[in-house]
């Protein structure tokens, strides 16, 4: 396959590996660069090292036909490619700003190896102004390298479907030819998506996505702004939940009525234990830091962050009042350690926060998650015991906290809680359980704002 149809993806996290696997089924030869040998070995076996529905068969099929090439070598992949995607990690610093060490390191190493006229695409979420700095570094190399910002909008747990049946593709840059070339990749993906969805075993969606071309700075700001706004909606709902608890209202009913206004909508107005994951917390803190760097105080986002940080403690306070104002030696089971259903990702997980806070308060904590056991092991305190099933985790428990919306948790029979637990307290930290079923089984139901 010629160079014009060869792509390199730097980094194989949720964004990078998904992008690489899908483009490898869209008429391109794709190098997936992963420096971690353990992860690379898993990918070479036709699997993902994290759980994402449908991704394994897509990887395996691309490897079989030779269009996906996992490697740890920039030297092999980058010079052979016409387009290089940067999908490396952007963790946050202790002050909330984005750590761009991997971003600049990848750009520096790739820049040294890229042939003239290569297009370098930044898919990692970076603060506004990052692209201009990388463009300056490329200019010093004396090569005609075009830089394009192409932020991702996939959700973990539905990454393949979100990428295949996108609502929008955003590209920003100063070279119109380069932005056009990047858009062509997604048009090729769109043309192949029905066949790819069949391989992945995910549902097709008759969605016509929008292609949006912007300036470089606008593209960089769009992603973090979108995530920050969604995080703001969640924190707003949680603020109202606290008020609902005080005045005897039901926040689910309140937000259902509010969301009926089409100007507002119901999405992300679900009160509960707060948001987590690798995007919302990082993007909110990064946007706040970026604002301060440019002399803008984003007070509204600081408030949203504070509300979110308060939610695990707020839930534990409600639990503690029901258990007699002490948690010492109380057995509490946590159902759900991933930050959301459909993924094994435990970054900034409210379920992890609840488990660790309970352990520090003297509780005996057991936990179960259908996918996140391995990833959770490194972030749970030593006092938390993980089990292999719901029944094992809740046996003898004084209280159960449902912290992630896995279907098996929502559908678990209330009568089974009553038969297996020692106590009677069920805490619905996601506001997804049927309170009447819980109460009919002789149990005490606690929601958030209910």
Residues with catalytic roles: 279
Helix (H, G, I), strand (E, B) or coil at 427: strand
CB of 441 within 8 A of CB of 415?
yes
Residues 6 or more apart from 206 whose CB is under 8 A from it? none
Q: What is the CA radius of gyration of the chain?
A: 23
Bridge partners of residue 98, in order along the sequence: 92
Bridge partners of residue 121, in order along the sequence: 85, 148
- 11, two tokens: 């980094």
For 232, phi and psi rounded to 5 degrees? -65, -40
Half-sphere exposure of 335 (CA within 13 A, CB side): 28
Bridge partners of residue 122, in order along the sequence: 86, 149
Strands across the sheet containing 29-33: 68-71, 29-33, 6-10, 83-86, 119-122, 146-149, 168-173, 210-214
Pairing of strands 364-368, 384-386: parallel
Buried b (16+ CB within 10 A) or exposed e, 101-125: ebbbebbeebbebbeeebbbbbbbb
430: left (phi over 0), alpha (psi -120 to 50) or beta: alpha
Question: Measured between alpha carbons, how far is residue 38 from residues 90, 118, 311, 319 in Å?
Answer: 20, 30, 36, 41
Gap between the Cα atoms of 304 and 252, Å rounded? 19
Bridge partners of residue 444, in order along the sequence: 425
CA torsion 151-157-162-165 (nearest 10°) is 160
Please report where in the chains the tokens 């099929």 appear, as a residue: 61
Gap between the Cα atoms of 94 and 75, Å rounded? 33
Q: E strand or H helix at 385, and its extent?
A: strand 384-386
Q: What angle do CA 354, 392, 398 make, to 5 degrees?
A: 55
- Cα distance between the two ends of the chain: 59
């Amino acid at each position: 396959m010629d160079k014009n149809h060869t792509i390199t993806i730097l980094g194989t996290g949720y964004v990078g590996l998904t992008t690489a696997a899908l483009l490898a089924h869209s008429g391109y030869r794709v190098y997936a660069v992963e420096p971690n040998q353990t992860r690379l070995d898993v990918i070479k076996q036709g699997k993902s090292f994290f759980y994402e529905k449908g991704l394994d068969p897509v990887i395996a099929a691309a490897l079989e036909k030779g269009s996906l090439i996992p490697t740890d070598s920039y030297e092999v992949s980058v010079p052979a490619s016409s387009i290089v995607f940067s999908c490396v990690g952007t963790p946050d610093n202790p002050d909330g700003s984005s750590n761009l060490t991997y971003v600049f390191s990848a750009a520096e190493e790739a820049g040294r190896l890229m042939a003239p006229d290569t297009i370098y695409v930044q898919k990692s979420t970076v603060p506004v102004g990052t692209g201009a700095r990388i463009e300056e570094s490329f200019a010093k190399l004396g090569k005609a390298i075009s830089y394009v910002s192409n932020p991702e909008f996939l959700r973990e747990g539905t990454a393949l479907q979100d990428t295949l049946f996108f609502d929008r593709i955003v590209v920003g840059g100063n070279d119109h030819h380069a932005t056009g070339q990047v858009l062509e990749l997604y048009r090729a993906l769109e043309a192949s998506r029905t066949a790819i969805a069949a391989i992945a075993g995910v549902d097709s969606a008759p969605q016509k996505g929008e292609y949006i071309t912007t300036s470089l700075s606008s593209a960089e700001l769009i992603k973090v702004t979108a995530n920050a706004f969604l995080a703001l909606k969640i924190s707003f709902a949680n603020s109202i939940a606290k008020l609902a608890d005080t005045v005897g209202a039901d926040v689910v009913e309140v937000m259902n009525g509010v969301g009926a206004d089409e100007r507002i909508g119901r999405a992300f107005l679900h009160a509960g234990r707060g948001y987590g994951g690798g995007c919302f917390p990082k993007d909110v803190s990064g946007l706040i830091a970026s604002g301060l760097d440019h002399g803008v105080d984003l007070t509204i986002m600081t408030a949203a962050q504070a509300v979110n940080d308060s939610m695990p403690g707020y839930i534990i306070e409600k639990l503690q009042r029901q258990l007699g104002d002490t948690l010492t030696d109380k057995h509490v089971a946590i159902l759900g350690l991933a930050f959301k259903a459909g993924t094994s990702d435990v970054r900034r997980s409210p379920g992890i926060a609840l488990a660790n806070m309970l352990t520090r308060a003297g509780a005996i904590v057991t936990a179960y998650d259908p996918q996140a056991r391995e990833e959770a092991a490194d972030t749970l305190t030593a006092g938390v015991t993980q089990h292999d099933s719901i029944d094992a985790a809740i046996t003898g428990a004084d209280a159960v906290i449902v912290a992630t919306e896995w279907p098996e948790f929502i559908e678990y029979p209330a009568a089974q809680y009553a038969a297996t637990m020692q106590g009677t307290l069920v805490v619905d930290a996601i506001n997804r359980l049927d309170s009447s079923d819980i109460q009919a089984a002789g149990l005490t139901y606690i929601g958030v704002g209910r």
